[in-house]
Structure 1
Amino acid sequence: MAMYLLLGAFGLALAFLLAGGMMRRSGVSGVLELPPPVDAGSKVRTWWVQSLDVAGLIVMSLIFMGFGVSALALGGEDQADLSAGALVLNAAMFAIFVGAVWAIVRWRVRPTDWLGLRWSAWVHLLWFGPTIVLGMWLVMGLLQVAGYMAFMEEWLGTPSMQESVELLKESKDSTVVALMALSAAVVAPLAEEIIFRGYLYPVAKKWSGKVCAVVFSALWFSACHGNVPLILPLFLLGVILALAYEKTGSIWAPIGIHFFFNSATVLIQLAIRAGWISDQVAS
């Protein structure tokens, strides 16, 4: 059942993308005519998106879909036995994907303009980043109190704990713990935001419009983690990350929010390992 729901989430995301594309083109009479522009009033520009990027979106989406499906299929394996080499390989794969996206885009637009790297208001991350993390914790707490997490775990027979969190809790190898902490707090926010918000989102936006692109990128992002009970809260996080990118026009905004969210989880698990807080309090 869990696998069917995961594939259903991917299918729903694709449906939003296709529906948005068809709606934007419903008023276009000629084959060579372009649909209405989507950049008006937006800080995330799509003028650089070309036909080549449709293929890029398909390839990257399928790769991360594979990650999600394999993560769910292998969910029963003991994550505490994951080796340092596997984590290094995972980080190297992310670097390759980011490099591929960078190579595809940079010859058309400067990275500073593409990703809004020169963001003068970055200091605001210091307050709205932690605020969003607290808001997400409140949402997840409400889902826990409402019995949503327990229901999903019992119904699907899969845990709601992410593999990275399980590894941070259970691994006896300090090197693995350090690499996992670095991967979760630094590698994942940088790589996932450049790929999902920096590339897939504007390509989807050019095709289907802002609303459908937000839903597509957020739902694909949540499903790619391969944890069905967490699809709902991760979808909400994905929406927030996309809207933060739209609001600021800088990739540093979603990267920062993602960094604060993951780092808070890492710090809590490290505190549990050190005995500073109990596992019952954290859960």
Structure 2
Amino acid sequence: MISKVQLRLQFLVLLWGFTGVFGKLVTMSALPMVWYRVLIAAVVVFFYMKFRKMDFGVSKNELMKLLAIGGIVGIHWFTFYLSIKLSNISIALSTLSMGALFSAVLEPIFFKRRINLLEIILAIIVSACVAVIFNASPEDYKLGIIIGILCSFLSALFAVLNSTLPKTIKPTKVTLFEMIGGFITLSLIMVVFQPEAISEVIHISWSNLGWLTLLGVIFTAFAQIESVDLLKHVSAFTLMLNVNLEPIYGIILASLIFGDSEHMTPVFYIATGVMLLSIIMNGILKTRFSK
């Protein structure tokens, strides 16, 4: 029988898989969309911490590091939704799976360890799958694929940087200051590079505001707090192994909701499936060999 914890875990991954759908439900461009996402998430986590009477204190060095990582998170989400706008949800989610490849490269650099043979094999398989996806996709989707690859690199980068944070900083506190860092970074990018997006922020429609509130509250703030709580019951490895199901959930949901615009060639689904399977098997084998 499936345990309550496993059901909660699958529900959490389903929530994360659904975030890509908002890239089409929200009709505004990617930058103001993510600006609202981090703002709403920061406000929700702030009031959650106030209600729970949690401590907000961090050192100056910790604060600067959290804000910087938050800036990377904000740009990661921006590139994720930009990839969706330039291609489709399926493309963005499939390229996001490359995060495991970039983690395999970044972790030895940050933690001064040798690259594992399994990680080299993973790198070859994932790179080959992405090359197949790129060649099998329509010409007008290829910029979206490139942006998606950048998105997956940023995903791996902030994950590795988060793992270097002191364990004494509570995850809710990490989330709050990273969302603030994302908000500051995206605000600067908007003012300097895309000032026309300010008009979208000011003249947001009620439907977009509704979708973004849902995205910020349930699919960002709640999902983060739930993931932190689940780590009391499951290992970080179990959580990350299940997170690899996110693209599968997301691609299925996108196909069900948006139909033909999300349907890809059989080659795309085969390459994505091989890539996801190799990532999951890599995680399982590394755990067995480390025992």
Q: Which has the higher helix share?
A: 2
Alignment TM-score, normalising by the size of structure 2: 0.32
Structure scoring higher RCO (CA < 8 A, sep ≥ 6) equals 2
